[in-house]
Structure 1
Amino acid sequence: MIEALQFEFMQNALMAGLLASVICGIMGTLVVVNRIVFLSGGIAHAAYGGIGLAFYMGWPYLVGTLGFSLTAAMVMAAVTIKAKHRADTIIGVLWAVGMAVGIILIDLKPGYNVDLMSYLFGSILTVPDRDLWIMVGMGIFILVMVVTYYTDLLALSYDEEFARIRGVPVTALYFMLIGMLAVTVVMVIQVVGLILVIALLTIPPFIMEGYARSMLTMMVGSSLLGVLFTVSGLWISYSFDLTSGASIILVAGVFFFLNLFVQRRLSTRKRPSLAVTREKTQAFDPQRS
């Protein structure tokens, strides 16, 4: 890995991966706690429409994709608030329409061939300095917003009614949360692609949820796990000439299933045996006394 870091593209890739890991650890925690994984998937796939729009109009990738994703995210947020019983259906439609728009706009761009695989599975090794600095700016923005509204986000995540009683502007805060999620998705698409973005957002927080005792601890632990997955995936990708985004998610997936196995073993050990349970039941049963 030290040898690989001699190359500028690997330095940019590592920096982009670290930024995405920290932001995904923070935002992924909010996604998992608020149970909006499906909504984040809708934003990720609708973002493909922004990719097509950016290429068709000749705009920078991040500018076009961010605008389109924010618009789609706000529509999805409004739907989940106004029509919760139909939210999954409408999000699924926006998910599909966004991808279709992106593909058609790319097809309509004359004389231009786009490597679709780089956006489906990530192109972390080709992140330019310009996009890297934009990612730094977006990451700082998200971090500042989360720190500023941490207490309100905590109340919203665990008890919406309690948050309203406290005077928290729940609706405005929810729209802000979905907007930050859209920014995060646009950042992470370059790292692992839009198909795998949900894995990087959800796997580290899911693992940490079983060990963390506070949302802050969960955010920090998820960020560290994301860094571990990203660095390990990049090393595997460089060593074996594999797709970087898929390698990162494969490492995360291995840890995910190992965690499930460990948790299952621990729960089995803590659970009393059937014989012990029957013995205790008989001992406290007055009819058997």
Structure 2
Amino acid sequence: MNILELFNYAFFRNAIIGSLFASIACGIIGTYVVSRRLVFISGGITHASFGGLGIGFYFSLPPIISAMIFSIFSAFGIQWLSRKQGVREDSAIAVFWSLGMAIGIVLTFLTPGYAPNLSEYLFGNILTITVSDIIALIVLSIVLVMFFVLFYHEIISVSFDTEFARTRRIPTQFIEYTMMLFIAVTIVLSIRLVGIVLLMSLITVPQMTANLLTVNYHKIISLSVLFSFIGCVLGLFLSYYLKVPSGAFIIFVLILMYFLFKGVKNLMLRTSNRAITESIKQ
């Protein structure tokens, strides 16, 4: 079967469309996460969402909805413990990370009837994206774009120097808690792409790649969206032909892209330095 014939299948078209809007959301959120050095927090929220999945399975609730609610409370809980209760941030993350995983494991084990299929949540399966998932990602992407347009300068100020932003009377607390909300929602809605285990890479690796090419915040967002979408599409096609899990291969492609750009940049720097050295000698 050639590539064009794959588009005859609705599930494949859904996967491509879902990848596009997930890339937009992850590109925007991931840039904030990387610039604020919140990668560990995003990992904590990602793994804490497993507790919400367990609650959904046990009480026969929609797993994504319960995971989203649990993730939002975990995100706010991490923020509250570290800022208001004097708990170290890494300790607060560890509390909710382990709490979510523990609740998820216990409730999944206690769920009556057949054991739920956890593989698509843990490792992802982009081909299982539904129309409702796509609609949710579209709404999230639109809301994120609108929020960043309205508060772009405030977000940049908070991203790079929260204390300075506070002295400028920027509503730092509002920005921080709203962004934590968006991080949690983006993480949960993107679980189907690469799964809980690998999701942290989806919101960090494209941004790292973009940062090799520019330091401009707006350009990093744009390039992150582009790299995320390219990685998702290439990973999807290659995983189909190689008969390997799509989620893992998407991350593999993204990391390969990072090292490729890193290698090219290092080569260009060495060439430039060598040219400068030779011109000085002459």
Q: TM-score, normalised by structure 1?
A: 0.90
Aligned counterpart in structure 2 of residue 29 of structure 1, from 31, 36, 53: 31
CA distance in 2: counterparts of 1:84 and 1:199, whole angstroms = 29
CA distance in 2: counterparts of 1:212 and 1:187, whole angstroms = 28
Q: Is the 8 A contact 1:4 1:238 kept in 2?
A: no
CA distance in 2: counterparts of 1:85 and 1:63, whole angstroms = 29
Q: Is the 8 A contact 1:123 1:190 kept in 2?
A: yes
CA distance in 2: counterparts of 1:7 and 1:26, whole angstroms = 29
Change in Cα spacing, 1:222 to 1:84, as seen in structure 2 (3 Å) is: farther
Q: Is the 8 A contact 1:62 1:131 kept in 2?
A: no
Superposed, 1:109-258 pairs within 5 Å as 109-258=111-260
Q: TM-score, normalised by structure 2?
A: 0.92
1:97 aligns with 2:99: yes
Q: Describe the superposition over 1:90-116 as per-residue Cα deviations: whole angstroms up to 9, x where unpaired.
A: 212311220121121111110032122
CA distance in 1: counterparts of 2:13 and 2:112, whole angstroms = 34
Deviation, structure 1 residue 140:
2.1
Aligned counterpart in structure 2 of residue 13 of structure 1, from 12, 15, 39: 15
CA distance in 2: counterparts of 1:85 and 1:52, whole angstroms = 27
Q: Describe the superposition over 1:47-103 as per-residue Cα deviations: whole angstroms up to 9, x where unpaired.
A: 011111111122222211110100001011223334677211221231122012112
Change in Cα spacing, 1:229 to 1:49, as seen in structure 2 (3 Å) is: same
CA distance in 2: counterparts of 1:166 and 1:176, whole angstroms = 19
Deviation, structure 1 residue 263:
2.7
Q: Which amino acid aligns with 2:271?
A: R
Q: Secondary structure at the match of 2:196?
A: coil
Deviation, structure 1 residue 269:
3.2
Change in Cα spacing, 1:254 to 1:83, as seen in structure 2 (3 Å) is: farther
CA distance in 2: counterparts of 1:253 and 1:265, whole angstroms = 18
Q: Which amino acid aligns with 1:251?
A: V
Q: Is the 8 A contact 1:31 1:202 kept in 2?
A: yes
Q: Secondary structure at the match of 1:74?
A: helix
Deviation, structure 1 residue 257:
1.5
Q: Is the 8 A contact 2:20 2:229 kept in 1?
A: yes
Mark the runs of 5 or more structure 1 residues left unpaired by the alignment. Answer: 280-289
Q: Which amino acid aligns with 1:57?
A: F
* Structure 2 partner of 1:41: 43
RMSD between superposed Cα atoms in Å = 2.2
Percent identical among aligned pairs is 34
Aligned counterpart in structure 1 of residue 52 of structure 2, from 43, 50, 53: 50
Deviation, structure 1 residue 272:
6.0
Deviation, structure 1 residue 13:
1.2
CA distance in 2: counterparts of 1:242 and 1:200, whole angstroms = 18
* Structure 1 partner of 2:263: 261
CA distance in 2: counterparts of 1:142 and 1:58, whole angstroms = 30
Deviation, structure 1 residue 131:
2.5
CA distance in 1: counterparts of 2:50 and 2:13, whole angstroms = 27
Q: Secondary structure at the match of 1:40?
A: helix
* Structure 1 partner of 2:62: 60
CA distance in 2: counterparts of 1:133 and 1:71, whole angstroms = 23
Greater shift, 2-11 or 37-46, is seen at 2-11
* Structure 2 partner of 1:283: none
CA distance in 1: counterparts of 2:251 and 2:243, whole angstroms = 15
Deviation, structure 1 residue 264:
2.4
